Amino acid sequence: MPIKNRFAEMLPEITEWRRHLHAHPELLYEVHETAAFVADKLRAFGVDEVVEGVGRTGVVGVIRGKGTGSGRAIGLRADMDALPILEATGLDYASTVPGKMHACGHDGHTSMLLGAAKYLAETRNFDGTVVLIFQPAEEGGAGAKAMIEDGLFDRFQVDEVYGIHNAPGVPVGVFATRPGPLQASSDEFEIVVKGKGGHAAEPHRAIDTTLVAAHILIALHTIVSRNVDPLKRVVLTVGTFGTDSGASNIIPDVAKMEGTVRTLDPEYRAIAEARVREVATHTAAAFGAQAEVIWHPGYPVTVNDAEGAVRAADAARAVGRGVIDDADPIMPSEDFSYMLEKKPGAYVFLGNGDSAMCHHPKYVFDDEAIPFGCSFFAELVERRLPTA
């Protein structure tokens, strides 16, 4: 039976898993019930090895194919965590936990990889090993990094690694990917400006912290326009700005701002950090004030291996309703980037139709996408690990 037909048959069952996970969202590393659900299912499917607690609450499953000659292994990854959002979908299977919601479709990603696991454990039409990677804490907790640091790729041999993220705005069944950078890095910074507080009517006796901070804010926006190659993609945004003053007639002692730098070019992560530090400290110094810059490195650029992207697109073409293989990169970041830093492979987007965007309280994962995601994983395994 063709892969797609098998998953069409399995759709009601996988939809049930997805809606169960949707009703019981968990955050970051606290995905205990989700991880237990995943591990139970993998054992029930007859997966050869199931290891829990990798990277705190990650789960790894290993399936060995019928053929044993290749010695090759392919990693397939899904994320399990939800978001601190109050759900507003009104669905009958909506979140049962106020303030927590699967608003990024990770319930769908986990269910699609479980569906693929069930099929692969049943059929085993491949020569080599499939490593199923279910990670915690994609939403800001670097769960992929935690699994790697806990020996994911030392304990489980993986030659290539692939993952799927749903994509609102792309038709259901249509895949999108590209070779090279697909999603941006995301670093955050804080700048604390210290001047000299005083009376608003006697600025000559003070160092006006608010004014200094304002100059820094304006100057920061010259980094992208003046220090970055116009053909490269870098964005800098200052999201918070304030002082410790409580009144209009006070010159404050301290001002603070926080911002983020995102880029598709790893080289510009370092350049942007250096320039933010220089611009802030030297601008402050010019006014007789001081600026302290605190840098918080976030997720790296998600870079698809050139061949991995082609292989992923080929598998997607075989099972999907179309493939955009030169998709535009996007600036939100993704911690699958850590896995792609270690292993060649690719990340692909799978259309979620005309839904609200990810991280919106009315976002809904489209269950009709499930057979496409499952088929993609299964097709990729059978293509990459062919039996003789």
Exposed e or buried b for every residue in 144-160, given b needs 16+ CB within 10 A?
bbbbbeeebbeebebbb
Q: How far is the CB of 104 from Ni ion (least distance, A)?
A: 3
Rounded to 5 degrees, φ, ψ at 229 are -50, 125
Q: How far is the CB of 139 from Ni ion (least distance, A)?
A: 7
Q: Does 255 bind Ni ion (CB under 5 A)?
A: no
Q: How far is the CB of 383 from Ni ion (least distance, A)?
A: 26
Q: Does 104 bind Ni ion (CB under 5 A)?
A: yes
Binding window for Ni ion (CB under 5 A); candidates: 94-102, 104-112, 206-214, 291-299? 104-112
Binding window for Ni ion (CB under 5 A); candidates: 15-23, 97-105, 141-149, 293-301? 97-105
**Looking at beta carbons only, is 103 or 374 nearer to Ni ion?**
103
Q: How far is the CB of 103 from Ni ion (least distance, A)?
A: 9
**Looking at beta carbons only, is 110 or 209 nearer to Ni ion?**
110
**Per-residue H/E/C for 6-71:** HHHHHHHHHHHHHHHHHHCCCECCCCHHHHHHHHHHHHHHCCCEEEEEECCCEEEEEEECCECCCC
Q: In 3D, which of 75, 6, 80 has the Cα closest to residue 37?
A: 80
**Looking at beta carbons only, is 75 or 105 nearer to Ni ion?**
105
**Looking at beta carbons only, is 127 or 334 nearer to Ni ion?**
334
Residue 175 zone, left/alpha/beta (φ > 0; ψ -120 to 50; rest): beta
**Looking at beta carbons only, is 104 or 207 nearer to Ni ion?**
104
**Beta strands 254-263 and 234-243: pairing type?**
antiparallel
Binding window for Ni ion (CB under 5 A); candidates: 67-75, 98-106, 211-219, 268-276? 98-106
What sign does the CA torsion over 143, 311, 177, 229 have?
positive
Q: Does 234 bind Ni ion (CB under 5 A)?
A: no
Q: CA-CA distances (angstroms) from residue 280 to 159, 196, 263, 273?
A: 44, 17, 20, 11
Residues 377 and 175 sit within 8 Å (Cβ to Cβ): no
Q: How far is the CB of 116 from Ni ion (least distance, A)?
A: 18
H/E element, 271 = helix 266-286
Using CA atoms in the order 322, 328, 330, 333, what is the torsion angle rounded to 10 degrees?
Answer: 70
Q: How far is the CB of 138 from Ni ion (least distance, A)?
A: 6
Q: How far apart are CA 330 and CA 264, in angstroms?
A: 9
Cβ-proximal residue to Ni ion, closest one: 104
**Looking at beta carbons only, is 104 or 385 nearer to Ni ion?**
104
54 to 93: interface string for Ni ion, x by CB under 5 A: ----------------------------------------
Q: How far is the CB of 327 from Ni ion (least distance, A)?
A: 16
Applying CB under 5 A, the site for Ni ion has a residue count of 1
Binding window for Ni ion (CB under 5 A); candidates: 11-19, 66-74, 102-110, 299-307? 102-110
**Looking at beta carbons only, is 128 or 141 nearer to Ni ion?**
141
**Looking at beta carbons only, is 111 or 129 nearer to Ni ion?**
111
> For binding to Ni ion (CB under 5 A), which residues are involved?
104
